[in-house]
Structure 1
C-alpha cells in the first residue's frame, strides 16, 4: 500500500474509533509530520533482521504498532498545539485499542526497537537504550515515581518486568516471568527468577540481540 493510502487508512481508523475531530484537521496534522515519522519508522524496520529492508507492511501488526508510536511521538515532538496533541492522543488510543499496548506518545523509545507481540505491554516514561526488544505482557514501570534506566540491547521476554530504581546494564536479557524491582544488573547477562524473591544472574554466552537486529 502506498504511503498516501496508509495515511488515509489510519485516518479512517481514527475517525471510526474516536470521532469528534474534523477529518481535515486530522489529515493535515498527519500529513505535516508524515515524512519525518516514516523516515524514523523505516530506519527502525531496516535494522530488524526478520523484516525485509525498505518495506513497511501495514498488515504486520508489530510493524503497525511501531508505526503508530513513531507517528504519534513525531507529532508530539514537533508540534505542541492543541490540534496536534489531539491527533497524537487519538493515535495513542488507536494503538492501545488495536494492539493492546500502553505506549504513550511522550515516551522516548529508542530509534531502533522491536516488538515481538504487543498485547499487554505497558511502558512508563523511563530511559531506554537502543536495540530494545519487547515481548507480550512485559512491563517497564515506576516505583514511588522513580523510573528504571535501561542500557543498550535490553531484551524483555513475556511476562517480565523492570520496575523502580533499576540500572539495567547493556545486553541484559530478562527471562520469561522474571521481575527486576529496584535492582541493578551488570550487563551481558541473563536474569532469572530465583528463590525467596531473589534473582539469579548468569553471564550471557553470546550477544542475543544479534538474533534480532542488523548490527
Structure 2
C-alpha cells in the first residue's frame, strides 16, 4: 500500500504486536452476536476493519511507532472507507454494520457501541462528545460538540445530536423544529441483535 522501502521494518513491527491485536479482536468477535465465536473471517469487511484499527492502536500504544500505525490507518481508510485514527480510544467491544463513510474523532466511547455507514462523531475545538455504553448510531447520524448520549440509547437514521443531551434509554428522532430532537423509550430487545450480553 505504501511503497516507501520500509516494508521490512513495518512487518517486524506488526509481527511484534500481532498477538495482542488478535486477542483484542477475539474478545470483540466473541461478544458480537452476528459473528461466529472464535472465528476471524478476514474476508468479512467489518471484522477486517476492526482488526486493522486494533493492530494500529496496539502498535501505537505499546511502541509509539507512528509510521506503522499510520500505514495501517491508511490501509483501513483505503479498504473500508473509514476514518478511524490509531489514537482514538475505541471500546473493547464495538460492532460495525457497514464501515463506508464513518468518521470518528477523539471522544469518549462507551462499550458495546454499534456504528453504521455515514456515522460522524466530531469534536468542536475543545468540546468533545461523550457516548455511553450500549449505544446504537444508525446510518447518517452525527454526534458532535459537547453532546452527551447516555447509556442504552439509539440515534435514529439521519439524526444530528449537536451540543445536546440524550437521556438514558432513549430512542432519538429528529424533532419538528430544526435541530430539535424527539425522545421515545428504546426497545428492550434491540441490543440482542448485536451483542451476546
Corresponding position: 1:169 with 2:150: yes
Q: Which residue of 1 aligns with 2:43?
A: 59
Distance 1:144 1:195, change over 3 A: farther
Contact 1:188 1:203 in 2 (8 A): yes
Deviations 1:34-91 (A, max 9, x none): 11000000110011101000110000000100000000000011011xxx21010000
Q: Which residue of 2 aligns with 1:206?
A: 188
TM-score (norm 1): 0.89
Shift of 1:170: 0.3
Corresponding position: 1:38 with 2:22: yes
Structure 2 unmatched ranges of 5 or more: none
Higher strand share: 2
The aligned length equals 196
TM-score (norm 2): 0.97
Contact 1:171 1:207 in 2 (8 A): no
Deviations 1:2-23 (A, max 9, x none): xxxxxxxxxxxxxxx2111422
RMSD of aligned Cα (Å): 0.9
Distance 1:21 1:214, change over 3 A: farther
Corresponding position: 1:149 with 2:103: no
Q: After the TM superposition, list the runs of 4 or more consecutive aligned residues in structure 1 that deviate by more than 4 angstroms.
A: none
Q: Which residue of 2 aligns with 1:72?
A: 56
- Please give the secondary structure, in 2, of the residue aligned with 1:46: helix
